[in-house]
Chain A
């Protein structure tokens, strides 16, 4: 008798902790303008405070459904959002609040959507997992794993076809690397030399399971790059400067006709997979070590070392807090959508009519 097929030799949740790399001291000297760094500090603060507020609003019952928070992972969306041009395209997952804010989408519309109000950027019809703002280049948050990598290819195809130098970026989690669409999309992007960047935000857990327990290779994205003739790129996803440098390089390459890139950004979520998950399957030592390497704390320290005074940073945080509060109040004061809204925008004529 065997005891069946098992992936790993340890009990669930009792794997060895995976610890973050130390901060790279050389990044203090990275050629990034002070102004850009302050903008990235502010953006990370915005995402952090919006997510914390959303969590609080869940507990109050004002946000319903599910939600996948980006707490602890803010550096990646921030750095890409900062490095992209306004006419570039972003494709995110259901963990896409940060990527949406990073494209400059106003908080009011985001909170409105999260509270299911008519002031939401999707009129209350999309919700947490589908944040989209075409006018900001935020071409959507996609909630079926893998799909949007193929769709980002299409936007990149279109840019190339139309002769623009726009690029498309698709963000996704480590779990996505094990679905077919990931592999279809990578092959496709390379075959047609598309200006697209695939960014795997590896937070070490595919929902409730350690990614290493169910993946054939240790680095789920980077170790697959060679199969598609792509460079193996791993970046410290908890350091906005590290991501910014890598993002800029990949964007420039794609814009210049150099084709796609695949970047694995190592990071960690503060909480569980979604609202329902306390994340208890993670070793405490691991959680503690990653909390120490929190991207905003890391960035705060760097800015102080670079001569920014504490008061400036506090001022940024205070200003963000005020804007978050205003946006929440705006959402709370906004009406719920009229019931007719359910029947609009199914088809291009604005309605839902399927027969005469």
Chain B
């Protein structure tokens, strides 16, 4: 067991898989020589050499097209899209090509690849470098979508993603890169499609993802001081979605809150709210409440950005008020 940062966990997770499987390689802008603009791939070039850790031009379509073609022909690429906002310039390759190749060819084509990307806000980068786009990805049949919140999960879910036969969009949260956590020694392999109950509770279920998980946990601490016992679930994987864990928790607490960094309209929590309304309506004692970033682009200035992305205070306030 050792303390590791989320950023170092990315490099360790990739290294674990590259050591295990020669078919795995890493490509992206500045991932090799510079060790990544977020320093999340430091040391990989030295360990695996320039044939397997490769700097690319600023050509997001070419990067993902190359990853797809390589995956179709027997390799297991990990490609980086530096900021998830940049998916907008290569979304064709993701949505029309990678996601649909297996289906359109009726199973002839496998596309086992991982696309890592720094997602989310809180870094004052403004509207084009701060978006939470996990809900874009979730809307596309054929993709799997993962967003870890802890260093241990980064490694375990990276391993599960690399070993998966389907294409996985792996969203790293850029504001979590500096967060630290205890990580066991040795190989770590997790499972896609498993949510994690990260705090037990009886009065309310709070479902969160990525950076919203530590905030939800802190809000739950404060709620406990108010006499409210909140259960916090880290969704971890949007596709496949572990609805059983969520429905099980709602059956116990009878109240559901989603905490979402993506803009409100058609955010991932809307799908969960819809499922709970369909399948657990009679378990509920109150309307489902979604705590989200509003339907606005993200502003840059600190007070403005802090006011838009759900904060510990806001999560605490909204849950408490609705339960009074």
Contact = CB atoms under 8 A, between A and B. Distances in A.
Interface of A: 89, 122-123, 125-126, 130, 132-134, 139-140, 142-144, 146-159, 161-162, 168, 180-181, 184-185, 187-188, 191-192, 341, 344-348, 350, 352-356
B141 A140 contact: no
B186 interface: no
Interface stretch (B12-20, B62-70, B121-129): B62-70
Interface stretch (B176-184, B237-245, B282-290, B291-299): B237-245
B106 interface: yes
Interface in B81-136: 92-93, 96-97, 101-110, 112
B82 to A, nearest CB: 15
29 contacts: A89-B73, A125-B103, A125-B104, A126-B104, A126-B106, A140-B105, A140-B109, A142-B97, A151-B66, A151-B68, A151-B93, A154-B69, A154-B73, A155-B69, A157-B66, A158-B72, A158-B73, A161-B70, A181-B92, A184-B62, A345-B106, A347-B102, A348-B102, A348-B166, A353-B240, A354-B141, A354-B239, A356-B240, A356-B241
A122 B104 contact: yes
A318 B54 CA distance: 54
B25 A161 contact: yes
Given A146-B61, A154-B69, A347-B144, 5 more contacts: A132-B105, A152-B65, A185-B65, A188-B66, A191-B57
B69 A134 contact: no
A348 B65 contact: no
A346 B99 CA distance: 8
Contact of A356 (B72, B110, B142, B193): B193
Contact of B105 (A122, A157, A192): A122
A158 B70 contact: yes
A162 B275 CA distance: 45
Nearest to B145: A354
Contact of A354 (B25, B103, B241): B241
A89 B70 CA distance: 12
B202 interface: no
Contact of B142 (A158, A191, A347): A347
Given A158-B70, A181-B61, A184-B61, A344 B244 contact: no
A132 B104 contact: yes
B59 A188 contact: yes
Given A142-B97, A347-B102, A347-B142, A185 B62 contact: yes
Contacts of A185: 61-62, 65
Nearest to A185: B62
Contact of B101 (A140, A162, A188): A140
A161 B74 CA distance: 10
A187 B65 contact: no
Interface string B223-244: 0000000000000000111111
A144 B164 CA distance: 26
Contacts of B61: 146-147, 150, 180-181, 184-185
5 smallest beta-carbon distances between A and B, as pairs: A154-B69, A150-B65, A348-B165, A123-B106, A345-B107
Contact of A132 (B109, B141, B275): B109
Nearest to A159: B73
A154 B70 contact: yes
Interface string B242-255: 11100000000000
Contacts of B110: 348
Nearest to A353: B240
B51 interface: yes
A150 B93 contact: yes
Nearest to B241: A355
Given A161-B70, A162-B74, A344-B106, A147 B165 contact: no
A143 B105 CA distance: 13
B9 to A, nearest CB: 26
Contacts of A122: 104-106, 108
B158 interface: no
A161 B75 contact: yes
